[in-house]
Amino acid sequence: MALGTQTHGITSVTRRCGRFAFVVLGALVFAGCNLSITGSKAGASATSGKSTTSTTASAASSSGASSPVYEVTTGRVKGLGKVLVDGQGLTLYLFEPDKRSGNSTCYAKCAQAWPPLLLPIGVTSPVAGAGVKKSLLGTTHRTDGTVQVTYNKWPLYTWVIDSAPGDATGQGINNLGGRWYVLSPNGATITKR
């Protein structure tokens, strides 16, 4: 009888420890997911108010040299031709409701899905890459104090669904209050899909 009670006690302890381990493991997995999300472009912009450019200072360019993420350069997208891209080669977009005002209207959920191209703390101007008109580059101050890159007075954004150079899955879609389009190197809106 004592042995049965002891076994029952061990079983209870084992179950409690097992549950505790499961809870701890679940918390670690959840924390890991949060870290991955926070480390992504969307999370870094939306949750901390800081761009991934402050955590990822540069990305490899096609020439093999390092380019800052906040560099505005050109890339090719099938069906759209030459468009603006960031230093990682990801397609840059404009948001029609910004109305080429030089000010962003994309915040909260919008900025999570469409991370603004931000300058890292301490950097005062964007970098003009190959094929970009430096005279069209500019910046705008966001309400959270960060500085967003503009081109021809359009605030620039990436799209969390795009994962590789050449992707432009956000082109022409109506999302979170307006349409999104890519820009040509001369600053014109490309509206074809």
pLDDT, position 60: 36
pTM to 2 decimal places: 0.69
Coil, strand or helix at 117: coil
Q: In the chain, which residue ranges form alpha helices assigned H by DSSP?
A: 2-39, 41-47, 52-55, 109-113
Chain segment 115-130, per-residue pLDDT in tens? 999 999 999 999 999 9
- Return the ∠ at Cα 35 (arms to 18 and 122), rounded to 5°: 155
Distance CA(111)–CA(118), nearest Å, equals 11
Tens digit of each residue's pLDDT (9 = 90 or more) over 132-155? 999 999 999 999 999 999 999 999
Model confidence at 65, pLDDT cuts 50, 70, 90, reads low
